[in-house]
């Protein structure tokens, strides 16, 4: 798949077939994520693939109303960033971790997988963070849902670059 095609063709999916993403493919995705740009090569991102026990803990922390949305995809990956306390470096590291998440989504799409970048509130709570093993020095970035899509999705309309790009003299 060409890069332009991958970028334009990636969609957010919320309905998946039941088979999980195999570990070999996940390892390939994480290997690519490590190439995200990061100032001073801090490698600040952390990825945790949730197994059944971690998912059960997270669902218990989320409560019955929010827990159902955690069952959408067969493979869930919690992405976080390690913060060091320097505001400028932390800001750069947050951006780097977000780039790494997008690389995972784009690489998954290129392999025929579907993805969904969620930010459920439970992972911003101490109980949710503990459920997935995030340390106190970590900030939640996203919960990545991965799997095989149940159906294809059409791309939404996008505004043209002229609506958001300014060329300064």
> Which residue in 143, 112, 116, 122 sits closest to 46, CA to CA?
143
- Cα distance between residue 146 and residue 33, in whole Å: 15
Instruction: Render each residue's pLDDT in the chain as its tens digit; 169 residues.
Output: 788 888 888 888 999 999 999 999 999 999 999 999 999 999 999 999 999 999 999 999 999 999 999 999 999 999 999 999 999 999 999 999 999 999 999 999 999 999 999 999 999 999 999 999 999 999 999 999 999 999 888 878 899 999 999 999 9
Q: For 3-152, give the CATH class.
A: alpha beta
Quick count: other Cβ atoms within 10 Å of Cβ 169? 2
Q: Which residues contact 46 (CB under 8 A, 6 or more apart)?
A: 79, 80, 81, 82, 134, 138
Instruction: Give the model's pLDDT for residue 64.
Output: 92
Kindly list the domain boundaries of the chain, sorted by start residue: 3-152
Question: pTM for the whole thing?
Answer: 0.94
Q: Which residue is associated with the tokens 């996940």?
A: 26
């Amino acid at each position: 798949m060409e890069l332009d095609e991958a970028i334009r063709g990636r969609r957010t999916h919320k309905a998946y077939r039941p088979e999980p993403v195999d570990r070999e493919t996940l390892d390939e995705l994480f290997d690519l994520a490590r190439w995200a740009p990061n100032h001073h090569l801090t490698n600040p991102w952390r990825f945790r693939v949730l197994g059944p026990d971690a998912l059960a803990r997270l669902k218990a922390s989320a409560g019955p109303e929010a827990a159902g949305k955690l069952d959408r995809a067969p493979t869930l990956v919690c992405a976080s960033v390690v913060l060091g306390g320097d505001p400028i470096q932390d800001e750069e590291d947050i951006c780097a971790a977000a780039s790494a998440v997008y690389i995972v989504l784009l690489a998954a799409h290129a392999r025929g997988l579907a993805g969904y970048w969620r930010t459920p509130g439970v992972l911003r709570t101490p109980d949710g963070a503990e459920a997935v093993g995030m340390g106190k020095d970590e900030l939640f970035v996203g919960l990545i849902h991965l799997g095989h899509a149940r159906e294809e999705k059409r791309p939404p309309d996008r505004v043209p670059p002229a609506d958001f790009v300014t060329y300064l003299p």
